Amino acid sequence: MRSIALIAAALVALAGCMEIEQTATPSRQGKYQGKPDSTPWSNQPLAAGPQWKQGDRASWEEQIKKRQLGQHEHRRIYQ
């Protein structure tokens, strides 16, 4: 009786370690299934955050450059 319980416990433990294959549905196999991403500059800027013109890539890139310069240690120390 005890050996049957040990065998059953071992089977349950091994079943927990088994990896189940996670595949997409056959019609979507091999295709991206998440939500489509938009370009970062097409998003609306946050109200309290850095500002750029929505949809304008050049103003968004300029804002990113300003942000990066503010995070540069040598620039911050020697200003």
Please state the domain extents for the chain: 52-79
List CB contacts of 24: < 8 A, sequence separation 6 or more.
30, 31, 33
The CA distance from 55 to 61, in Å, is 11
The C-alpha angle 24, 26, 32, rounded to 5 degrees, equals 50
pTM of whole model > 0.85?
no
Do residues 76 and 70 touch, judged by C-beta distance below 8 A? yes
With bands split at pLDDT 50, 70 and 90, how would you rate the model's confidence at 20? confident
pLDDT digits (tens, 9 = 90+) for 25-62: 666 666 777 777 888 888 888 877 778 888 889 988 99
List CB contacts of 12: < 8 A, sequence separation 6 or more.
none
